[in-house]
Copies of this chain bind each other. A is one copy, B any other.
Amino acid sequence: MGVVVNLDEERNPSPLDRLAKLVEKDLLAANEAIVDRMHSPVSLIPQLAGHIIAAGGKRLRPMLTLATTRMCGYTGDRHILLSACIEFIHTATLLHDDVVDESDLRRGEASANSLWGNKPSVLVGDFLFTRSFSLMVEDGHLDVLRVLSQASATLAEGEVLQLVTANDTETNETAYLEVIKAKTAELFAAAAELGAVVADRPKAEQDALRAYGMNLGIAFQLIDDVLDFSAKEEALGKAVGDDFREGKITLPIILAFARGTDEERDFWRRTMEQLDQKDGDLEYAHKLLANHQALDDTVERARHYGAIAKDAMGIFPDSDIKTALIDTLDFCIERAY
């Protein structure tokens, strides 16, 4: 399993490492639950699920649940299984995403579909979805079930929406935000909201944590979009320029398209809609993004959502966990550099 606490960085730990340290016992228990609950007598299931779950994920989403629950003063252990549940929903989505995107790499490792083929990836994804559902039912609280069923439904709808808008250069910033809210930020929102729900805190606190998670999720995805153009391959864990090659419209491209000349728009239509790409096109795309400050301004947009997330946390009393959650916002945004 991926070890989240990195000993080498102990002297100058990142906010994520600090968060992991603050909920260390819970995180170990959650990791155990994840391994335990992906078990099945059908050995292909833990093999394939284990491959993707072990592939160096940051456990960011389950950690949100663990941290917010503790921040809300909860002393029980319901949040352990629920954070495993969040990770299973996320993993199921990754498996199906890789099938849909025909990706060969996931977090720097061979993707499950490239190793085992599409069929097991589809079906083991289904298994993890249903297993996540069993975990929620095992928790057995209707308020939790409502949060998580709503999140799963929105996420699935967002995936279809992304498919529909994926190669459409007419997609504007507002429409794109709807897509990433549904397909990425909603699960962050649910993961954080669960903290106040499990701790039985008032609605205002549930809403605040939901807003924190939602805006963190939006910022996180926008930075991912930037990294797809700007990152080093080793750091990204997938090929740089993948979004471009797949014709995936993201905010940097939406900005460059809106700010561009007619000729430039023809370039985006040819490469992104018709997927007619030649040598040098990715380099030219980079040039256009730079000319229009599209990457920098996408980071600026991410900062805006980060600021909203930070303010949402204002109603909670100060604590180490609260500070680490707020610092995580900057950390997720600054990884763009």
Contact = CB atoms under 8 A, between A and B. Distances in A.
Interface of A: 40, 42, 44-45, 92, 96, 99-100, 118-120, 122-127, 129-131, 133-134, 136-137, 140, 142, 145-146, 149-150, 152-153, 155-157, 159-161, 163-164
Nearest to A116: B163
B127 A160 contact: yes
A152 B123 contact: no
A163 B100 contact: no
A147 to B, nearest CB: 10
B149 A40 contact: no
Nearest to A95: B122
A187 B279 CA distance: 52
Contacts of A131: 153, 156
Nearest to A141: B142
A161 B125 CA distance: 14
Contacts of A119: 99-100, 163
B156 A129 contact: yes
A127 B156 CA distance: 5
Contacts of A99: 118-119, 122
Given A42-B161, A42-B164, A99-B119, 8 more contacts: A40-B157, A96-B122, A96-B123, A120-B163, A126-B156, A130-B155, A137-B142, A137-B145
A52 to B, nearest CB: 15
A66 to B, nearest CB: 23
A123 B44 contact: no
A179 to B, nearest CB: 10
Contacts of A122: 96, 99-100, 122
A304 to B, nearest CB: 26
The list of the 7 closest CB pairs from A to B, nearest first, reads A127-B156, A130-B152, A130-B153, A137-B149, A126-B156, A130-B156, A100-B119
Contacts of A134: 149-150, 152-153
Contacts of A160: 40, 42, 44-45, 120, 123-124, 127
A125 B127 CA distance: 13
Contacts of A164: 42, 44
A100 B159 CA distance: 19
A131 to B, nearest CB: 6
A125 B157 CA distance: 10
B149 A130 contact: yes
